[in-house]
Chains A and B, each alone.
Chain A
């Protein structure tokens, strides 16, 4: 097999699997960090805007909302991160990353202009055809907003807005400083085609918005379950308390979706660690309906 440069060599990357004419799924595509946004006051959540080094890689990275990618730093390793930008933003891909372990810490130390590796997209993504034509209720807590931000931006795009019904977003964080995507939140709050409810567990002097836990706010907002699907992402405890609220509102387990986190390596259903029963979160998930999850072992 030929040697190719990681940066800017479309021909080389295409030629890697010349023998079988299949791309090596383990080989990340180089992407340059175009912008870094520090999302929270604690400065441990950053959004990385990436642009692929070559056109072939950009074209190959066709994703759906709710999918994820393996971000890769040579010498450090890889980690699976949900895609935070909308598929309609063609020039770049965004990932919001919390500084947690080895790879995410190294990523936080990167600067604009650095080149990292991306492979994917992986996973099933949100059930877009089921979401279309109906109400969409998005419930997000803390840092888990990322793929739901992708979904929100996608739905709000002028090209798409008519294809979806009412859009309700309930989003909460521990305190105002921990709210992420502040620019999006501001823009969305000015629109009349999204019902946005941003809450914090505890406010501060400058906070004039809602105060309360996400499940309580969800109960107060009481979005209609008629022809509606709820997508819930957040800490396990938030999800646990949101489910009965949604159930009381009339959402059946088939119409509540969840995106799961799991330790992963390959992202393509081979390395064997992210399974819940016979489902691999990387391949068959990460998005599952509550009905699907109820049929699976409670190993998540």
Chain B
């Protein structure tokens, strides 16, 4: 890896320099960075650089809310007068992991794809710079490299930071990122230092370590090939695993709310005497109401159908529609499941050639 990609010049930014850079950014743009909210680490707008937590394995919540907020106003209305929300300043998501960056590329298929582009998503996507932070220490629940990503995967990001200990290596990933670095970490900024070859060597070493860590004891030893995964799952629709999973799953929806690629939403009105607003809120395929018809009929009446939908959507239907697996291997669903349903074991059972009778402790058995 050579210093200076096509997009511009990489540089070293000291830890103090990052603080100064953030302070400068906050003055002009909206900055979303990992913030400690009680026990959770989540991406929220910050007003001081000191609020940003930059030393973590992964954030509890994904950065999805930066582009697709849990609740947003589509319109406000007063009588017959309708107002669309005004969008604000340029924004930056700071220190997001490569897995979250990949989730945006996957979500683009849905929100920017036919038959119509989603204007709310599109605005945020266009006006939000993405500054990634290399994943030096993947968790034991991480499996990004099994689903086409990696702890040092730069795709989807504008700028890529690697924590080298005493400083960050900041690499522009594209022209946007180069422009960002020129503006916010330019030669006159006071925290600019050109990256020497040793910085890249150090980065490569960290990348090797991170990838090695992912390999140790990996449940999904081989990367999933989207088309093969889709094909295999086509024959697993009636697998007995679904019934067992449906029995075990509480239907709490934690997996979907923490998933960086889940995109289902509800639209509803909140009104009072003719004025009000139409909202869009995250919704969840694990809830019975999600598919309940007004007639009372429900095409996915039990946990069995609902958990099957979640997994089939990500690993089969999404591949059929967009050619990619809708999972970035962040492991948040694995960590957050109150009954320890582990997607990695579910997949390895479904995809194994050992036949339908094989079920591991982690997926199939109840109790």
With known contacts A7-B80, A101-B294, A299-B305, A268–B115 Cβ distance under 8 A: yes
Collect the chain B residues with CB atoms within 8 Å of residue A274's CB. 291
Contact A270 B118 (CB under 8 A): yes
A3 at the interface (CB under 8 A from B): yes
Q: How large is the interface on B (under 10, 10 to 19, 20 to 34, 35 or more residues)?
A: 35 or more
Partner of A270, one of B82, B111, B237: B111
Contact B119 A74 (CB under 8 A): no
A76 at the interface (CB under 8 A from B): yes
Most chain-B CB neighbours within 10 Å: which of A5, A27, A75, A236?
A: A75
Within 8 A of A (CB), among B300-353: 300, 305, 309, 312-313, 316-318, 320-321
Partner of B290, one of A26, A273, A297, A299: A273
Closest to A122 in B: B115
A161 at the interface (CB under 8 A from B): no
Contact B271 A27 (CB under 8 A): no
Collect the chain B residues with CB atoms within 8 Å of residue A100's CB. 294-295
> Could you say which of B90-98, B193-201, B216-224, B259-267 contacts chain A?
B259-267
Q: How large is the interface on A (under 10, 10 to 19, 20 to 34, 35 or more residues)?
A: 35 or more
Contact B82 A275 (CB under 8 A): no
Within 8 A of A (CB), among B272-312: 274, 276, 278, 280, 283, 285, 290-295, 297, 299-300, 305, 309, 312
With known contacts A74-B271, A77-B269, A271-B265, A3–B293 Cβ distance under 8 A: no
CA distance A1 to B294 in the complex (A): 35
Contact with A along B116-132 (1 / 0, CB 8 A): 11110011000000000
Distance to closest chain A CB from B296 (angstroms): 10
Contact with B along A260-272 (1 / 0, CB 8 A): 0111011011111
Point out residues on A near B: beta carbons under 8 Å. Answer: 1, 3-7, 16-17, 19-20, 22, 24-27, 30, 74-78, 100-101, 104, 115, 122, 236, 261-263, 265-266, 268-278, 283, 297, 299-300
Point out residues on B near A: beta carbons under 8 Å. Answer: 74-75, 77, 80-87, 110-111, 113-119, 122-123, 237, 263-269, 271, 274, 276, 278, 280, 283, 285, 290-295, 297, 299-300, 305, 309, 312-313, 316-318, 320-321
The 6 lowest CB-CB distance pairs between A and B, nearest first, are: A75-B271, A272-B264, A278-B320, A278-B317, A25-B116, A101-B294
